[in-house]
Amino acid sequence: MNRRKFLATTAVATASAAAASAFPKPAISQGRVQWRMVTAWPKGLPGLGTGAENLAKRITEMTEGKISVKVFAGGELVPPNQCFDAVQSGTAEMGHDIAGFNMGKHRAFAYFFGVPFGMTYAEHISWLHYGGGQALWDELSAQFGVRSYAVGNIGSNIFGWFRKPITSLSDMQGLKMRMPGLGGDVIRKLGAQALSLPGGEIYTALQTGTIDAAEFTGPANDLALGFYQAAPFVMYPGIHEPGPVQEVVVNKAKYDALEPTLQKIVDVACQAAHEDMMAEYKWINSQASKTMVEKHGVKFLRLPDEVIAGLGKASGEVLTAERDKLDALGQKIWDSYVGARSQLKSHTEVSEMAFYQARAMDYPFPS
């Protein structure tokens, strides 16, 4: 992957935003519509960019062209961090980003993205589909004139890329790190400065020393964007995003205008894309991790126990205080998320977690 190509795509974000209002309205011919999907990602970015393209193709094919979806990379129609606004206003019919970008609109959007020391991918999707999470997300999103879907998950993330490794809790003091969402609030508790930057701006910020560290999505995307050239140390585990969800937002008025069969196709296509993107990420991240170590000399380092404990304490304080910042719906979402985490965590500990610990034991196995 060519990092410069990715950065060139996002460099036009500001100019593109000015041209958005002049963009032609979607074509309608014999009951057929053309929808625009804006994304927060550089064009062709593995997993995120390709996942959005695959979803657009799936909807177009499944509707036999009755809904034709065209994808715009971050900066091509609107800036990467304005996907939600574009869909809400009707500039685009669909957007692919993360709910964590929209905490300025309502802090409860964070619970549909990722929570420090929160739910894993499997736990989170279980809450959405069977624990009432999606109904709450629908209620929240409707206030902004959109429908929201979980479309994409990268699994448990790394903590980030660092110019210098973290060796103690004191190293967090004054650290400038790209870290959005509630994770940013957590590292601020430890004296760090959290910034939110689009993916296309991270490399330059690392290279110039504007930031000391950054997290993005994980090995495959981070390798494509060349972070290892500016920050050769990967710290893990990614306690801030145990199962970060990417979202698709759809303009509610445009969705409601569809006939029921087409609505159902959009619903099912999004659900399929969510599973597909998770599977793709698991595969390409494993390949990218190997390449990083063997070809580029990247060092994967575990955060010291002292730092993990400090992050855990800070996370508890942030999440406890967070409930009081929310309105009635937000508190309902908070209660549902925290209750689901407690219920699902107890089963995970005797199922997946127990197996992972057993598999990590030293015994002969083909490789």
Phi then psi for 291, rounded to 5 degrees?
A: -65, -40
Q: Which fold has domain 9-156+244-284?
A: D-Maltodextrin-Binding Protein; domain 2 (3.40.190)
Residue 21 confidence (pLDDT):
39
User: Taking a C-beta distance cutoff of 8 angstroms, is the pair 207, 241 a contact?
Assistant: no
Beta partners for residue 176, in sequence order = 193
CA angle 13, 16, 22 (to 5 degrees): 160
Burial class of 68 by CB neighbour count within 10 A (0 to 12, 13 to 18, 19+)? middle
Q: Which helix (H) or strand (E) holds 176?
A: strand 176-178
Buried b / exposed e along 107-116 (16+ C-beta atoms within 10 A) = bbbbbbbbbb
Residue 100 confidence (pLDDT):
87
Q: What does 117-141 look like in DSSP terms, one character per residue?
A: T---HHHHHHHHHHSSHHHHHHHHH
Instruction: Give helix 133-142 / helix 328-350 axis angle, nearest 10°.
Output: 150
Beta partners for residue 202, in sequence order = none
Tokens of 59: 């909807």
Beta partners for residue 146, in sequence order = 251
Beta partners for residue 302, in sequence order = 236
Cα separation of 75 and 16, whole Å?
Answer: 6
What number of CA atoms fall less than 13 Å from residue 298's CA on the CB side? Answer: 26
User: Taking a C-beta distance cutoff of 8 angstroms, is the pair 1, 223 a contact?
Assistant: yes
Tokens of 215: 């997290």
CA distances from 258 to 152, 255, 261 (A): 24, 5, 8
Q: Which helix (H) or strand (E) holds 348?
A: helix 328-350
Q: What is the pLDDT along the chain (367 residues), one digit of tens a residue?
A: 444 444 444 443 334 434 443 444 444 344 799 999 999 998 888 899 999 999 999 999 999 999 999 999 999 999 998 999 999 999 999 999 999 889 999 999 999 999 999 999 999 999 999 999 999 999 999 999 999 999 999 888 899 999 999 999 999 999 999 998 899 999 999 999 999 888 889 999 999 999 999 999 889 999 999 999 999 999 999 999 898 999 999 999 999 999 999 999 999 999 999 999 999 999 999 999 999 999 999 999 999 999 999 999 999 999 999 999 999 999 999 999 999 999 999 999 999 999 999 999 988 888 7
For residue 99, give the DSSP letter. Answer: G
Cβ contacts of 104 within 8 Å, gap of 6 or more:
none
